[in-house]
Amino acid sequence: MTATQPAPRRNRRPKKRELFCPAHPEQRIQGNGKKYYLHLLQPEQLEQRGISAKKAQLIINAYPVLVLSNEWLEELFCPECGTSRWCHVIKHDRIEHTVRWAPRELWEQVAHVDPSVANPTVSEYTRREARRHQHKRADGKRFYG
């Protein structure tokens, strides 16, 4: 009689997405979960992503506003840089992603967000206090911190 071996256990914990800092490729970065998905309005934007001109025109005619489910803008924190920055994230599969710094032009493809205009729900006092740490004295040193 042969001894039966137990079946190998499956790891039930799902793998997390792997996001790496564009400046430090070995450093993992974390996001806050708020994603701003890109919206495409012109066929040229689809052509830049590798779709033929004819097919891009057909897609835009069928869907006047096409929301990309695999591309978004997200604020990510890099411990190596010590700062949070807005990144353009492209999802290839459940784990694999491409991360690059988000150029300002990409915000034009995000609905309901205008980065050039201040948030109207934030008071002027709060906005001024948030910039307080940037003010410097006449000798070049900071007032605070």
- Which tens digits make up the pLDDT trace of 54-108? 998 998 888 888 888 899 999 999 898 888 889 999 999 888 899 999 998 888 8
With respect to residue 86, please indicate whether it lies within any of the assigned structural domains: yes
Burial class (CB in 10 A: 0-12, 13-18, 19+), 93: exposed
With respect to residue 6, please indicate whether it lies within any of the assigned structural domains: no
pTM: 0.67
Split at pLDDT 50, 70, 90, the class of 31 is: confident
What pLDDT sits at residue 116? 64
Q: Which domain holds residue 61?
A: 30-112
Q: How far apart are CA 141 and CA 145, in angstroms?
A: 10
What pLDDT sits at residue 8? 72
Contact 73, 106 (CB under 8 A): yes
Give the DSSP H or E segment for 86: strand 83-91
With respect to residue 5, please indicate whether it lies within any of the assigned structural domains: no
Structural tokens at position 20: 């790496």
Q: Could you tell me how far CA 107 lies from the centroid of its own chain?
A: 11
What pLDDT sits at residue 42? 86
What pLDDT sits at residue 114? 63
What pLDDT sits at residue 91? 92
Per the prediction, the chain carries an average pLDDT of 83
With respect to residue 127, please indicate whether it lies within any of the assigned structural domains: no
With respect to residue 131, please indicate whether it lies within any of the assigned structural domains: no
Span 132-144, mean pLDDT?
74
Q: How far apart are CA 134 and CA 140, in angstroms?
A: 11
Q: Compare 22 and 8 and report the one with higher pLDDT.
A: 22
CA distances from 139 to 59, 131, 135, 142 (A): 59, 19, 12, 9
